[in-house]
Amino acid sequence: MLKAERARYILQRLQELYPETPVPLDHSDPFTLLVAVLLSAQCTDERVNQVTPALFARAATPMAMLELSVEEIREYIRPCGLSPQKAKAIAGLSKILIEEHAGMVPQDMDALERLPGVGHKTASVVMSQAFGVPAFPVDTHIHRLAQRWGLSSGKNVTQTERDLKKLFPREHWNRLHLQIIFYGREFCSARGCDGRVCEICRYCYPQRKNPKRTRKA
């Protein structure tokens, strides 16, 4: 089966399975989404959603966030892990948003990536989920599944993102990246499937005899 054929099937099947794609991280605007995505690094969305209500009740804007010390922010987000670095980044980006962007989250990839603690993946999530700009954020689920499904060799997340953008129409990127995440968590997790178990893996590679070894992100 050609790669393009696999891609067409995957797109169709994921649209059938996940016609609705709610954003997994609870938020009310671009700023709270930005903070939530930053907190999700090496942390589950469920844990982030447990932590952010108290934080956002106290500081849901860059100005309010700056009223807190880094240590106070850290106390709110401690359960997410890496709290010292994340607290410092949240304080730092809040300061920059006020000083350079009138307190608003910029709708610009380069400007987002210049914020403390905000890498390409985080910026892509904000662009797609907050502003509706086509982007294809690649997390560990997407990176793993792209290899299992033969859509990318998975040398790194940058290549995986580039390969997926070539395979799928631009208008599907924002929805599709969430659909892949949902499917990976439900059917094709790191331990729940080895490239031969779930429906899509079996469809794409019905003759696969051995587990598919994937490269880490």
**Any catalytic annotation for residue 86?**
no
CA 96 from chain center: how many Å? 23
- Residues 3, 29, 139, 166: which is the catalytic one? 139
- Residues 3, 26, 121, 165: which is the catalytic one? 121
Q: What is the DSSP string of 142-163?
A: HHHHHHHTTS---SSHHHHHHH
Overall residue count recorded for the chain in this entry: 217
**Any catalytic annotation for residue 139?**
yes
Q: What is the DSSP string of 34-64?
A: HHHHHHTTTS-HHHHHHHHHHHHHH--SHHH
Q: Integer distance in angstroms from the first to the last C-alpha of the chain?
A: 26
User: Which amino acid does the sequence have at 198?
Assistant: C
> How many Cβ atoms are within 10 Å of 209's Cβ, its own excluded?
6
List, by residue number, the catalytic residues. 121, 139
